[in-house]
A and B are shown apart, each in its own frame.
Chain A
Amino acid sequence: MERPGRTGQRLVAVFTAGVILLNYPILFLFARPVSAAGVPILYLYVFGAWTALIAALAYVIERSRE
């Protein structure tokens, strides 16, 4: 197993990225009446960023277990 210190730091990095991505002002960039495939891009963006965060968390955690 990799040193837990590294995993913790990576998780903090994901956390920081999440805080920035899912708050003003980044959020503001997507709060406009534009749709993609019928869905407003704000929703697409929030759920997309959320999914990406979870994927990053999973990657960091599972990598530390190998």
Chain B
Amino acid sequence: MVVEAALNPILPSTGEGDRGNAYLKELLRLLEGQKVRSHSEIAGWLQELRQRAAYNVTKQRMPIRKDEEWRFTNLSDLQQHTFTAAPTVQLNAPDIELLTIPEAATSQAVFVNGRFTPELSNLTALPEGIFVGNLAQLPVEQSLKLVKYFAHIEGANEVFTALNTVGFPDVAMVWLAQDVIVEQPLHLLFVTVVEDEVILTSPRAAIIAEPSSSLEIVEHYAAVTPGCPDQTGNTPYWTNAVTEIWLEENAQINHTRNQRESGDGFHIGKTAVAQHRSSRYTCNALSLGAKLSRHNLEVWQQGEQTETTLNGLTIAGREQTADTHSLIALDFPHGKTDQLHKCVIDDTAHAIFNGKVYVPQNAQLTNAAQLNRNLLLSPKARVDTKPQLQITADNVKCTHGATISQIEADELFYLQSRGINADSARSLLLDAFAAEILNRVPILSLRKRLAQCVACRTYE
């Protein structure tokens, strides 16, 4: 049986004198009203989970810039808005046509304002052994197993993750059975419909890969707006997303995370990954959208000989703020991690990169590389970068670094002296900078479209 449940309010009325928390409490009040459908067998657990998350939130406050994790990202813009809960909205196929991926036309699951929308989804190409749908559709047997995974990855108490847990309206579920290899990429499309209301959506996804299974997945955040989503001038909204990914032994996931929120949107997203022995996880995180975005990408090693590859590309222009905080927490030997995060920053935009790699005593024979490269295109563009290695193991190979550069006059001159005009030369250099990451996206049409968007964003 599938049931629907909302939280009973647990909050006392807001007392005088805690203005700092007032905003968070308003958000809680808003989210506690959200219902979610699941099998009755797990409804009680889910209710308790949300209750506990709500309680956690009451113990915290909105991050401020004195918090080390939020030193460079100012949330006061976000807090100027009073958000309302995202309504259930009807969309038609033509509304999302531009957001689809040809290679995944028959392996696409669409979530509108966080809720699964079967009419827009097409999962006909998926082989046996993979479940894609929402929580209510997940078979009871798996729902019962979910209890030991869901919201268990470390960091679940972090304030925005907990807020999502309190208020997600649905869960995008992907469950790969043992030894199942899915050849066609799976597209999880999360669409926010931007109308007149200033809304908060809380998309949630859970991806479970059983031993020796393999999947390519595109997690895609986008908005349906009256105008071009890349432009500003639309109603603001906030996407507070959480995706949890579990790779069991020897599983492999190639995860492309494409953040293309509208230019007026706020995006705070968490990717939490648990990697068991010999599993291989690749993330291609592309951050182009939103007025303010924050991606918390956290990988927790749960067994030895794991491979983790994090590729990141941030394109920020206008007054955008684009923040990536990544963490790779190793705890077993023979781990291999490779991270390359690149940012292109134009106008008065501000990019932030903070990349932690923990290599404790247990993680002997780790091989870890991390590099952050930044290209500033205007005198007022800004980047704050903090590559951060914490090593206590004594037999490891670890490198990290950061570079900040601009397009050099000499580079332009070299190309010009070969008959290439200044604008084309500039594009060639920019394309090349972005291509190093884009070329790692395993889906050709997406790669091409992103290259066009990079071009459109950065050449004027």
Partners in one complex: no
A interface list, Cβ under 8 A from B: none
B interface list, Cβ under 8 A from A: none
